[in-house]
Amino acid sequence: MHKENTGDAPSAHTPRVRHHRKRNTDVVAGAGKPNGSHLLVNDSSKYKSFLVRAYSTVWMIGGFALIVYLGHLYITAMVVVIQIFMARELFNLLRKAHEDKQLPGFRLLNWHFFFTAMLFVYGRILSQRLVNTVTPDKVLYRLVTSLIKYHMAICYSLYISGFVWFILTLKKKMYKYQFSQYAWTHMILIVVFTQSSFTVANIFEGIFWFLLPASLIVINDIFAYICGFFFGRTPLIKLSPKKTWEGFIGASITTMISAFLLADIMGRFLWLTCPREDLSTGWLQCDPGPLFKQETHALPGWISNWLPWKEIYVLPVQWHALCLGLFASIIAPFGGFFASGFKRAFKVKDFGDSIPGHGGITDRMDCQMVMAVFAYIYHQSFVVPESLSVDKLLDQIITNLTLEEQQALFMKLGQVLQEKVIGS
């Protein structure tokens, strides 16, 4: 979705615009007309940068595939590591070294809030699965259920101690800086943790629901780059001068088609489609559910006349994948525009420099974040709506009843259900 004239991977968004245009003035001078100088189509050294970008992209995709192979817990670990780096990048972004020297312990406060947010968010998402992991052991089970019961109180106490700590360390003449940093910390943590917790929730519903949205974003980026590389003419949005309508539309079509096909391919692997009910790492067995069972659709008459197939086999999940693809191509790029505008606003070139040639982790993740949230909400609302109330009640049972009460409930419920079966 953009044309670039320096060494970046296709998954880099407009952020590259900022500093590379300024860095390679000779390249810009080498371009033809001033109007078309931004567009990659007119750039002569683009082939060299293309190779460099492709090389780094291949490495990133390779690492990613390896982790997916290793399983749910490792992917979650990867997500956690990514978000730690992202938080660190963002914390450092608007920090001013001069003021920081006068405020010892302020960085520590940021990490305190980070730890509290992590405990809160992952505690909520993974509580049910943690309980399932410690089921055999009674002592651990009681310990875990009481931790879950008091989870909110624990996180709140941690947050309030951070709040009190912040107020007690307010220094005269530094008030504005400290309050801005406080607000900035909250915004970062909200952005980072909402999407990463939703990502982890998706992972445990089935790696499919993490892999498909992430792949769609990567495909969208790559094909926007490629289409812009060859056909880009009309600028798309003032915020990102290197993006073009040709790249955008070409990428949208490609993304939707690949969503349909990818869902078919991925949906055939139990490893990807089974939800993980606990925190184990072994192999998964499950009944994948009606979404992943093939259905036959007879092709309408006018298609089947010139295609060799009379029917196609479609997994119902492929229709959901079309919606995901639509979102990934039309709305998710706004995450990139947002990051772009943000960097222009605060005159930052990149969010960081962790990935050589790409900028920081946040530059990589800006569209992924928007997509992860959408995928989670889509999944909860349209794919698995039924078990929500069951989950809520199970939550209540875990947090509010002791083990003996749970066993009593189990027996009573069993009796009632048996009576219903006999009576019906």
Partner 1 sequence: MEEESNVTSSPSTPVQRLRHRKRSSTEVLDGDKVSASPLLVNDRNKYKSFMVRTYSTLWMIAGFVMVVYMGHLYITAMVLVIQIFMAKELFNLLRKAPEDKCLPGIKQLNWHFFFTAMLFVYGRILSQRLANTVTADQFLYRLVSGLIKYHMAICYFLYIIGFMWFILTLKKKMYKYQFGQYAWTHMILIVVFTQSSFTVANIFEGIFWFLLPASLIIINDIFAYIFGFFFGRTPLIKLSPKKTWEGFIGASVTTIISAFVLANVLGRFPWLTCPRQDLSTGWLQCDADPLFKPEPFTLPAWIPGWFPWKEMEVLPVQWHALCLGLFASIIAPFGGFFASGFKRAFKIKDFGDSIPGHGGITDRMDCQMVMAVFAYIYLQSFIVSQSVSVDKILDQILTNLSFEEQQALFTRLGQMIGNS
419 lines the binding site for partner 1 (CB under 8 A): no
Binding to partner 1 in span 91-150, by CB under 8 A: 131-132, 135-136, 138, 141, 149-150
Pick 137 or 295: Cβ nearer partner 1: 137
Q: Which of 26, 386, 422, 423 binds partner 1 (CB under 8 A)?
A: 386
- Cβ of residue 134: shortest distance to partner 1, in angstroms? 10
**Cβ neighbours of residue 168 under 8 Å, at least 6 residues apart?**
none
373 lines the binding site for partner 1 (CB under 8 A): yes
Number of residues that bind partner 1 (CB under 8 A): 71
Pick 58 or 331: Cβ nearer partner 1: 331
Pick 75 or 251: Cβ nearer partner 1: 251
319 lines the binding site for partner 1 (CB under 8 A): no
Cα gap 350→326, rounded to integer Å = 28
Pick 68 or 339: Cβ nearer partner 1: 339
380 lines the binding site for partner 1 (CB under 8 A): yes
Choices 69-77, 151-159, 292-300, 311-319; region in contact with partner 1 by CB under 8 A:
151-159
Burial 103-140 (b: 16+ CB within 10 A, else e): beebeebbebbbebbbebbbbbbbbbbbbebbeeeeee
Binding to partner 1 in span 160-219, by CB under 8 A: 160, 163-164, 167, 170, 172, 175-176, 178-179, 183-184, 186-187, 190
Choices 76-84, 208-216, 318-326, 398-406; region in contact with partner 1 by CB under 8 A:
398-406
286 lines the binding site for partner 1 (CB under 8 A): no
397 lines the binding site for partner 1 (CB under 8 A): yes
81 lines the binding site for partner 1 (CB under 8 A): no
282 lines the binding site for partner 1 (CB under 8 A): no
Token duo for residue 137: 């052991």
**Cβ neighbours of residue 406 under 8 Å, at least 6 residues apart?**
397, 398
Site string for partner 1, 331-350 (x = CB under 8 A): x--x--xx--xx-xxx----
381 lines the binding site for partner 1 (CB under 8 A): yes
- Cβ of residue 378: shortest distance to partner 1, in angstroms? 7
